[in-house]
Amino acid sequence: MRFHWSLSQVGDPFRRAAATRDMSGRIDLQCKIDFCQRAEQCGIDSVLMAIGFTRPDPMLLSVALGKETNTLKFMVACRAGLLSPTMFVQQINTVSSLLNGRVHINMVCGHTPGELRYYGDFLDHDARYERTDEFLTVCRSFWADAGDVDFDGTYYQIKGGRLHTRFSPDPARGPEVYVGGNSGPAAALAAKHAHCWWRLAEPPVRVAASVGVVLDSGCEVGLLVSLIARPTHEEARRAASALIGKFGDDAREVHRRFARGSDSVGFVSTYEAATADQEWLTPYLWTGAVPFLGAPAIALVGSNEEIAQALLDYNRIGVTQFLFTGWPDLDEMTSFSRHVLPRVRELEGRDGDEH
């Protein structure tokens, strides 16, 4: 299994409790550098560099952080509506050259039509997936590094396309492509183009029901989930209660409004489950923070041993990658690498022996 961590709230663990317009777009660079350097020591594969109007640009921030790290990869988020696929490939290839290949891409289709319009993008949910399909088709043609790129689609028309800056270090192998989203179109898009499909955590039975077509295509499945792992189950539960004890009606109202404005299937269904008093979806999968911090706050809560077992349960139904957040991220990640990860590797070895 591979583990990634989101850089989204590093240095500002409760940013999602605030209204988006109040979220800081400033960069606490030193804090992010410290986190990335620690992530390298913790066995984290990559950090997610999210995209959105509340944040600095992920491509440029990755270049700045890449200079301060040696092995960590940067999973740069991209939305098709923002730039020409050729330009995107040129930027990613340049970054790959600057960072010696330490870049993945995380293709997302957007979650809030209102925000997409800030960027001049007015497409509806399903059309965005169609466009992203075309976008990735063009990008992957460039990354195949097999001559001029021609593409005649509804959203993009590329003629004789070529770029002299190729992906580094191996031009014949582009970046690993991650596609995010819980909806049917997202799964189909991932199956067609991605190395790994990101979806929000759900109970293992629900996840198992959705992954077949994706796994059959050879694409991996990864889960977005937060972590609250402590030495004992009771301590983890107490940490979870303490977390939501910090928030009041303001944070709740922020996410009520967000859910109304969102057309993301995963975000909205997770939010609805959380607000329908389904606080524990399984003994470890907890939605209690979602009404205050949003859908990505769905969390695995339990003892280090329980969390390791829970990750293995997901692994048995085909989940091979995880993207975590924590409160605060630095402490949770450090604790994960010391107390959960070694146990996961041990259990993985045992699972491997059985097969």
Partner 1 sequence: MGTNTSVVDSKLRFHWRLPEAGETDGAVVTRDRDARDRGRPDLQAQASFCVRAESAGIDSVLVNLQFSVPDPMTLSLALATRTERMRFMVAVRPGLMSPTLLVQQVNTFAVLTGGRICLNMVAGHSPDEMRYYGDSQPHDQRYERMEEFLTVCRAFWQSQEPVDFKGRHYVIEQGRLNTRFVSDRETQPEIYLGGASAGAQEVAARHATVWMRFPDRPGTLRQDIQPVLSRGAAVGLRMSIICRPSRDEALEVIRTLMSSPQIEAKRRSEASFVKKSDSQSVRSVFEMAQDEWLTPSLWSGGAGVLGAPSIALVGSPDEVVAGILEFKEAGISHFIFSGWPKVDEMVRFGESVLPLVRRLEAASAARPTATPGGRKVVYRLD
Contact residues: partner 1, CB under 8 A: 20-21, 23-27, 29, 53-57, 59-61, 63-64, 67, 81-87, 90-91, 93-95, 97-98, 114, 117-122, 138, 149, 156-166, 168
Residue among 274, 304, 293 at smallest CA distance from 23: 293
- Angstrom distance (rounded) from CA 319 to CA 282: 17
Q: Give the shortest CB-122-to-partner 1 separation in angstroms.
A: 7
Nearer of residues 14 and 156 to partner 1, judged by Cβ: 156
Q: What single-letter DSSP state applies at residue 269?
A: H
Q: Give the shortest CB-204-to-partner 1 separation in angstroms.
A: 37
Residue among 1, 68, 64 at smallest CA distance from 27: 64
Q: Give the list of residues 6+ apart from residue 272 with CB closer than 8 angstroms, or none.
A: 259
Nearer of residues 262 and 304 to partner 1, judged by Cβ: 262
Nearer of residues 105 and 190 to partner 1, judged by Cβ: 105
Nearer of residues 87 and 172 to partner 1, judged by Cβ: 87
Nearer of residues 43 and 56 to partner 1, judged by Cβ: 56
Instruction: Answer for the pair 147, 171: CB distance below 8 angstroms, yes or no.
Output: no
- Euclidean distance between the first and the last CA atom of the chain, given in angstroms as a whole number: 16
Q: Give the shortest CB-167-to-partner 1 separation in angstroms.
A: 11
b/e sequence 109-147, b meaning 16+ C-beta within 10 Å: bbbbbebbeeeebebebeebbbbbbbbbbbbbbbbeeee
169 cis-preceded (ω within 30 degrees of 0): yes
Q: Give the shortest CB-35-to-partner 1 separation in angstroms.
A: 16
- Rounded to 5 degrees, φ, ψ at 4 are -125, 160
Q: Give the shortest CB-71-to-partner 1 separation in angstroms.
A: 18
Nearer of residues 153 and 328 to partner 1, judged by Cβ: 153
Q: Give the shortest CB-159-to-partner 1 separation in angstroms.
A: 4
